[in-house]
Structure 1
Amino acid sequence: MELSCKNEYALLALIELAVHYASGEPLQIRQISAQQQIPDRYLEQLLATLRRCGLVRSQRGAKGGYVLAREPRKITLLEVMSCLDGSDAQPMEKNAVPKTVEGTVILEIWQEAYEAANAVLHRYTLQDLCDKRDARRQLDIMYYI
């Protein structure tokens, strides 16, 4: 399983929105883009997808931008991945019937890996990412003292 550029950029943008969630102030695409080094046009497409899935809301106007639709602790990473990759993202087709015993074994292992990955992604939220980031920053500060 690989973390795609699309998924990474979306998570970076969502972390930025999660950090500013408490203030209630929307962030503009250019602010998120500058802070996380994400190309503006690509970020615009990602945020539109996340908005359609109900993970972010957009506000129009001079002080408009994007905000999380729910608290960071209520948005799981699995929701984000399902939104971006489609909720049906399965390791192999559901109706695929392996032709050999070896194929059956491979399918079973891939299904197990898929379910394990989903369990991990379901367990973590955007708030967990922010907390881990803050803890890592604290470790970096302590290292340099």
Structure 2
Amino acid sequence: MQFSSKYEYTLLALLELTSAYPKGEFLHIRQIAALQNIPSRYLEQILATLRNGGLIKSTRGSKGGYILTREPSQITLLDAFNCIEGGSVLANADTSNQTTKDRKVIQAFYLEAYQAVNAVLNKYTLQDLYEQREHQNQVEPMYYI
């Protein structure tokens, strides 16, 4: 199973917003794009979708930008996925139009996989992602010359 690059960019942007959240900082598109190497135009679309979905809010002006609407521990990866992708992990999970028994058997596996992915995405929050990133930053070895 593979997630779209749009969802990956979404998580990267949300990760930056999570790191700024405790300080109450609003981040500009340019900041997020530079920190995560995301094309600015693409990021604009992603942030607009997240804003319309209620996961982030924006403020105009020099002190403006984007910020999470809730605590990072209250936003699951499934919330972000549903907002960006419309909630369809597996497009073929619908069994209503399948006519053969063989196809129904295969669709049952798709449905189980869909439910498993949803369970994992619902288990983890933006706070979990942020803490894992911080842990990785601490564990990376330092090389001195």
TM-score normalised by structure 1 residue count = 0.92
Q: Is the 8 A contact 1:74 1:125 kept in 2?
A: yes
Q: Is the 8 A contact 2:93 2:114 kept in 1?
A: no
**In structure 2, what is the Cα distance between the partners aligned to 1:51 and 1:30?**
17
| Deviation at residue 136 of structure 1 after TM alignment | 1.4
Q: Is the 8 A contact 1:58 1:65 kept in 2?
A: yes
Question: Which amino acid counterpart does residue 51 of structure 2 have in structure 1?
Answer: R
Cα-Cα RMSD: 1.6
After superposition, the C-alpha distances for 1:40-73 in whole angstroms (9 at most, x for unaligned) are 1100110000000000000111111000011110
SS at match of 2:133: helix
User: Which portions of structure 1, spanning 4 or more consecutive aligned residues, are displaced by more than 6 angstroms?
Assistant: none
Question: Which amino acid counterpart does residue 123 of structure 2 have in structure 1?
Answer: R
Q: CA 1:114 to 1:3, structure 2 compared with 1: closer, same or farther past 3 Å?
A: same
1:77 lines up with 2:59 in the alignment: no
TM-score normalised by structure 2 residue count = 0.92
Aligned to 1:46: 46
Unaligned ranges ≥5, structure 2: none
Q: CA 1:115 to 1:34, structure 2 compared with 1: closer, same or farther past 3 Å?
A: same
SS at match of 2:66: strand
Question: Which amino acid counterpart does residue 96 of structure 2 have in structure 1?
Answer: A
Identity value in percent: 50
Q: Is the 8 A contact 1:91 1:111 kept in 2?
A: no
Q: CA 1:86 to 1:132, structure 2 compared with 1: closer, same or farther past 3 Å?
A: same
Aligned to 1:117: 117
**In structure 2, what is the Cα distance between the partners aligned to 1:60 and 1:97?**
48
Q: Is the 8 A contact 2:95 2:104 kept in 1?
A: no
Question: Which amino acid counterpart does residue 116 of structure 1 have in structure 2?
Answer: A
Aligned to 1:105: 105
**In structure 2, what is the Cα distance between the partners aligned to 1:7 and 1:19?**
18
The number of aligned residues is: 144
Aligned to 1:36: 36
